[in-house]
A and B are shown apart, each in its own frame.
Chain A
Amino acid sequence: MTEQPAPGGTTAVDAPLVSFTGIDHAVLAKRTRRWGWVQYSSYRHAAERPFLGSSLAVALGNPILYLAAMGLGLGSIVRHDVDGVGYLWFVAPGLLVSTVVSTAAQFGTWPIFGGFKWQRTYLAAQATPLEPRQMAQGETLAITVRLLVQALLFWLLGFAFGAWPGGASLLNVPIATLAGLAMFTPLMAYAATLEEEGLQFSFVQRLIVMPMFLFAGTFFPLSVMPLSLQWIGWISPMWHGTQLARMASYGLSEPPWLVAVHLVVLVVFFVGGLWAASRTFTRRLVR
């Protein structure tokens, strides 16, 4: 940069000056009020760039491993149909949904906690026109993009394994994303309340995500479980998402009231979690 004369007639001699072009701060504030959540999400995208390769490897590797192990391996010895279809068709929507929901659970815990504690992302953003509520919304937007991409890759790879009976299974992508968000926003709201790093997230992983994965009707219909264990599925976004995904994929028939329950549970978790996160972010940041 070349030297510039400073306003007021003095001339810069030893150091470059900062130019003041007359930015209208009121315009920035107005824009941020409306679009702050989108502006914030650009942070996650920038932060993600160095890890794009490994994220992609995970997003591609996961479905290959699961579909190969469960679909081809386990599927080859499951002789009779489940829900009236072959095991691979049955298990594929469940695998897609549970993979996406697991990713959402990961991103709803440590990265959020770290934003308050380690990277201090939210504390930096707090000095800008952004409101805490918009940071929570921006995180949600960023994870939505990630989950959509991950679900889409899973779906595309599924074709190579013959996991989908038809094109309607593409609906698994938005369904899995919604299920992921239903997991993400409540965890994000919780992560924002933690002041110290403890074992909470290990518990989340081992006592919530893992049992959900095993008991949420991913590998077998929930109805074959004893009633005493079926509740795990009922409170799990994974099960509700999986059932919807099965309807889209191979036409699993569910009574209309149950379809409504699946959708309502997912939307309530998602929206309620986002509302709670707006509050916990604000409480944490504005003191």
Chain B
Amino acid sequence: MAVIEASDLTKTYGDFTAVDGISFEVAPGESFGLLGPNGAGKSTTMRMIGGTSLRTSGSLRVLGLDPEENGPLVRASLGVVPQQDSLDEELRARDNLIVYGRYFGLPKAYLTKKADELLEFAQLTDKAKEKVSALSGGMKRRLTIARGLVNEPRILLLDEPTTGLDPQARHILWDRLFRLKEQGVTLVVTTHFMDEAEQLCDRLIVIDHGTIVAEGSPQSLIRDYSTREVVEVRFGSTRNAAMEGPMRELADRIEVLPDRILLYAHDGEALLDEINRRGHTPLTSLVRRSSLEDVFLRLTGRTLID
């Protein structure tokens, strides 16, 4: 049975429709992603799952319960890692875990043990007595994740878990989250990082303007909405536009950007050889595997979203 079932889920704020009739299911133990640009409705969906945002219409079941009717019970089983850290900066790292655990009504004896275990898990044991204000961004994020695990949640909701972190910190976090998934925790992750979605998610939905525009595993989305490989060629800004015609003859789908042309192909090396053979030698070229980013940009467009 699915641990989360959303059907026609809709949320409007006045005239603005944040979430516009989305439906999805999350299976137990699955790592499920909500992918979309800023303002697509990801965080609102997360808040509705926890029952802290009331839906306008549609139905939602979390662990078989309606979070609006059974908010406390649903949230007792959830771990939440919000987009913006809400740690208490004045409290020590370890006390943050204990106080948060008290909100769940967990006993002190359990919490003192659990806090040490979670600090270890978050690789923060030596920071246990530091005030949170003294921790780095990556450490705070890890502490927030540790805090979300204090009640042994069945589902962990992560809203943009690695936004603002440097590459090292992101990789440590992914590693931690992967361990949790191995332990059978259901993960629901929102992100606008494609590499994150590819690393963490078994299955994902791409949301844009509050609606689902695609759904599937990272691999199947790449297969359906992109090609196996992508060739990026640069001819210099003066020649770039002029090369559109010749390039179009070489690939079923191309994309002309101000500084380069992208050609979608099954075999990138062969295509690049063909470009060179025809005498269109680019200044620089790159053959790469297609990524979720290509899918994402195709589905949600390249226009800047503010």
Stretch at the interface among A43-51, A182-190, A221-229, A272-280: A43-51
Q: Are A6 and B183 in contact (CB under 8 A)?
A: yes
Q: Are A129 and B52 in contact (CB under 8 A)?
A: no
Q: Are A18 and B121 in contact (CB under 8 A)?
A: yes
Binding site for A on B (CB under 8 A): 13, 47, 50, 52-54, 70-73, 75-78, 80, 82, 84, 86-91, 95, 98-100, 102-106, 116-118, 120-121, 123, 148-149, 151-152, 154, 175-176, 179-180, 182-184
Q: Which residues of B contact A50 (CB under 8 A)?
A: 90
Q: Are B175 and A7 in contact (CB under 8 A)?
A: no
The answer to whether the Cβ of A40 comes within 8 Å of any Cβ in the partner chain is yes
Q: Are A47 and B75 in contact (CB under 8 A)?
A: no
Q: Are B95 and A46 in contact (CB under 8 A)?
A: yes
Q: Are B86 and A35 in contact (CB under 8 A)?
A: no
Q: Are A15 and B76 in contact (CB under 8 A)?
A: no
| Distance of A18 Cα from B178 Cα, bound (Å) | 12
Q: Which residues of A contact B54 (CB under 8 A)?
A: 286-287
Instruction: Specify which of A22, A33, A46 is in contact with B72 (CB 8 Å cutoff).
Output: A33
| Distance of A26 Cα from B87 Cα, bound (Å) | 26
Q: Please name 9 pairs of A and B residues whose Cβ atoms are closer than 8 Å in the assembled complex, sorted by A.
A: A10-B182, A15-B179, A20-B152, A42-B102, A46-B99, A47-B90, A124-B87, A124-B100, A128-B75
A contact patch SS = loop
Q: Give chain A nearest CB distance to B267 CB in angstroms.
A: 37
Q: Which residues of B contact A78 (CB under 8 A)?
A: none
Q: Are A1 and B152 in contact (CB under 8 A)?
A: no
Q: Which residues of A contact B103 (CB under 8 A)?
A: 32, 36, 39-40, 43, 125, 128-130
Q: Are A18 and B99 in contact (CB under 8 A)?
A: no
| Distance of A7 Cα from B181 Cα, bound (Å) | 11
Q: Which residues of A contact B180 (CB under 8 A)?
A: 18
| Distance of A15 Cα from B124 Cα, bound (Å) | 12
Q: Which residues of B contact A127 (CB under 8 A)?
A: 50, 52, 75, 78, 80, 82, 148
Q: Which residues of A contact B176 (CB under 8 A)?
A: 15
Q: Which residues of A contact B87 (CB under 8 A)?
A: 124
Q: Give chain A nearest CB distance to B102 CB in angstroms.
A: 5
Q: Which residues of A contact B183 (CB under 8 A)?
A: 6-8, 17-18, 20
Closest B residue, CB atoms, query A51:
B90
Q: Are B152 and A119 in contact (CB under 8 A)?
A: no
Evaluate whether A46 and B98 lie within 8 angstroms (CB atoms) in the complex, with A6-B183, A15-B175 already known. Answer: yes
| Distance of A128 Cα from B151 Cα, bound (Å) | 9
Evaluate whether A1 and B98 lie within 8 angstroms (CB atoms) in the complex, with A15-B121, A31-B105, A47-B90 already known. Answer: no
Q: Which residues of A contact B50 (CB under 8 A)?
A: 126-127
Which of B70, B104, B151, B175 has the most A CB atoms < 10 Å from its CB?
Answer: B104
Could you list 7 further interchain pairs (A-B, Cβ under 8 angstroms) beyond the known A28-B76, A124-B100, A287-B52? A7-B184, A31-B105, A32-B104, A47-B90, A119-B90, A120-B86, A127-B148
The answer to whether the Cβ of A54 comes within 8 Å of any Cβ in the partner chain is no
Q: Are B102 and A43 in contact (CB under 8 A)?
A: yes
Closest A residue, CB atoms, query B77:
A25
| Distance of A199 Cα from B78 Cα, bound (Å) | 39
Q: Which residues of A contact B117 (CB under 8 A)?
A: 1, 16, 18-19
Q: Give chain A nearest CB distance to B46 CB in angstroms.
A: 10
Q: Are A32 and B72 in contact (CB under 8 A)?
A: yes
Which of A7, A10, A36, A120 has the most B CB atoms < 10 Å from its CB?
Answer: A120
Q: Are A18 and B149 in contact (CB under 8 A)?
A: yes
Q: Give chain A nearest CB distance to B83 CB in angstroms.
A: 11
Evaluate whether A128 and B90 lie within 8 angstroms (CB atoms) in the complex, with A1-B116, A17-B121 already known. Answer: no
Q: Which residues of B contact A106 (CB under 8 A)?
A: none
